[in-house]
């Protein structure tokens, strides 16, 4: 990415004018085209009462194509959901759980990928791995699998440590064992260049409001088309069917053949209009370029944190992390440091008494250097 291209992308993001924004693992900043698209839809509804259904649906399908291209999957394998949790809930409800089944999941996953399994599957035995174990490799998962394992549900990228699971190896292991893979990709999608269609996983779900730089209340669900006919009906409503128009309401319509059947009712058109523009930005930048820049910036943050004596829990190997780097220092009150950084215009997150730093592709090396310069020097080092 040239300096001119980077400058052009930064001009789309007003947050860069006020802050050094390194908080994409929490909330993605909204670009001008995203805001304009959402406002445009709202204004049309205000002035004319509605945006005609065929016109709105054409935007949905264009957004679907962009989401599929970003994920490296087929267009008919993408459904729009309201958030990551909704994707997980649909996946759980679509699987034929049997008496005696067990499920391998993460003990320290973000609650999005734990609570639905506990509430909806109280009868299913849970077997646990941790992000620290996954950082060493996928063998910790393999050891827990037996002939009664129905599914594996993990976070692709851990929200705190930034550990990225080796989903390729896990998918290969599960492929011949009829084990479903349910993947929360919230902390990786938009930061890592990955073709999910090549993996053979069953479900992947993410909200639009972090690395995708889209609005909250929007989300993407991937459902592998190879398993769709075998899934139990779940989350189906009247708009799961194929409607040509709304003149003939009472004739029952056939179910949509693809993942869009899980869009059960009226969509969040405002959110999808915005999400389409945020996906366009990422695709225009090129996910390979985006991922390279995110990785470079994380490595720069790591070097500066190490120079200042911070203890980093994010793995060193670039293949084992994404855009998150998390650190603390035993001699520093992290909550006080976090508040001081915020006052100075440096935006990151405070998680489990650690700083979680999450740069995106439009951040610059100069911003990272300024952020790190604001951190306390290591005890005993020169001022």
Measured on CA atoms in the order 62, 68, 71, 72, is the torsion positive or negative? negative
**Residue matched to tokens 């791995």:** 129
Q: Tell me: the pLDDT tens digits for 105-132? A: 999 999 999 999 999 999 999 999 999 9
Residue 212's contacts (CB-CB under 8 Å, 6 or more residues apart) are: 28, 189, 190, 206, 220, 275, 278, 279, 282
Q: pTM for the full model?
A: 0.94
- Single out the residue of 102, 114, 158, 100 nearest to residue 133, CA to CA: 158
Domain spans in the chain, listed from the N-terminal domain onward: 3-31+286-373, 34-284
For residue 176, what are the contacts with CB-CB under 8 A and spacing of at least 6?
none
Matching CATH topology for 3-31+286-373 and 34-284?
no
Q: Encoding tokens for residue 287?
A: 């996910």
Query: Which residue has 């949790």 as its token pair?
Result: 85
Summarize pLDDT for 168-224 with one digit per residue, the tens.
Answer: 999 999 988 999 999 999 999 999 999 999 998 999 999 999 999 999 999 999 999
- Dig out the tokens for 161 from the structure: 């440590």
- What pLDDT was estimated at residue 383? 43
Per-residue pLDDT of the chain (383 residues; tens, 9 = 90+): 899 999 999 999 999 999 999 999 999 999 999 999 999 999 999 999 999 999 999 999 999 999 999 999 999 999 999 999 999 999 999 999 999 999 999 999 999 999 999 999 999 999 999 999 999 999 999 999 999 999 999 999 999 999 999 999 999 999 889 999 999 999 999 999 999 999 989 999 999 999 999 999 999 999 999 999 999 999 999 999 999 888 899 999 999 999 999 999 999 999 999 999 999 999 999 999 999 999 999 999 999 999 999 999 999 999 999 999 999 999 999 999 999 999 999 999 999 999 999 999 999 999 999 999 999 998 755 44
Per-residue pLDDT, 382: 46
pLDDT at site 176:
85
Residue 363 CB partners (closer than 8 Å, separation 6+): 20, 21, 22, 297
Q: Which fold has domain 3-31+286-373?
A: 3.90.1150
Question: Across-strand partners of 241?
Answer: 255
- CA atoms of 198 and 252, how far apart (whole Å): 36
Contact 184, 113 (CB under 8 A): yes
For β-strands 102-106 and 125-129, DSSP reports them as: parallel
Place of tokens 């957004």: 63
* pLDDT for 381: 57
Query: Which of 216, 114, 165 is CA-nearest to residue 322?
Result: 165
Nearest to 210 by CA among 230, 233, 188: 188
Specify the pLDDT at position 357: 98
Return all residues near 174 (Cβ < 8 A) that are at least 6 apart: 152, 180, 181, 200
- The per-residue pLDDT for 380 is 57
CATH classification code of 34-284: 3.40.640.10
């Amino acid at each position: 990415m040239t300096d001119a291209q980077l400058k052009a992308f930064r001009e789309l993001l007003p947050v860069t004018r006020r802050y050094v924004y390194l908080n994409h693992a929490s909330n993605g900043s909204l670009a001008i085209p995203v805001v304009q698209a959402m406002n445009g839809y709202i204004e049309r509804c205000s002035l004319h009462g509605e945006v005609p259904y065929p016109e709105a649906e054409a935007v949905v399908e264009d957004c679907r194509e962009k989401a599929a291209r970003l994920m490296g999957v087929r267009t008919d394998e993408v459904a729009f959901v309201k958030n990551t949790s909704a994707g997980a809930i649909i996946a759980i409800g679509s699987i034929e759980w049997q008496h005696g089944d067990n499920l391998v999941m993460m003990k320290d996953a973000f609650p999005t990928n734990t609570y639905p399994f506990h509430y909806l599957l109280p009868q299913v035995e849970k077997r646990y791995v941790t992000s620290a174990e996954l950082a060493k490799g996928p063998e910790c998962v393999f050891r827990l699998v037996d002939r009664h394992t129905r599914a594996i549900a993990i976070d692709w990228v851990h929200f705190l440590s930034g550990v990225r699971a080796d989903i390729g190896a896990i998918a290969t292991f599960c492929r011949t064992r009829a084990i479903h893979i349910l993947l929360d990709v919230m902390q990786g999608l938009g930061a890592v260049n990955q073709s999910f269609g090549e993996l053979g996983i069953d479900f992947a779900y993410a909200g639009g409001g972090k690395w995708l730089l889209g609005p909250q209340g929007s989300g993407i669900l991937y459902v592998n088309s190879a398993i769709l006919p075998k899934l139990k009906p779940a989350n189906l409503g009247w708009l799961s069917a194929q409607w040509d128009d709304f003149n003939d309401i009472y004739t029952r319509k056939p179910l949509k053949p693809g993942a869009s059947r899980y869009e059960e009712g009226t969509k969040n058109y405002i959110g999808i209009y915005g999400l389409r523009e945020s996906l366009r930005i990422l695709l225009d930048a090129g996910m390979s370029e985006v991922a390279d820049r995110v990785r470079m910036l994380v490595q720069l943050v790591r070097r500066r944190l190490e120079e200042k004596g911070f203890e980093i829990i994010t793995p060193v190997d670039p293949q084992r992390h994404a855009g998150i780097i998390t650190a603390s220092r035993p001699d520093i009150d992290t909550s006080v440091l976090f508040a001081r950084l915020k006052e100075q215009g440096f935006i990151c997150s405070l998680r489990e008494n650690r700083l979680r730093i999450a740069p995106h592709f439009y951040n610059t090396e100069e911003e990272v250097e300024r952020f790190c310069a604001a951190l306390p020097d290591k005890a005993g080092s020169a001022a």
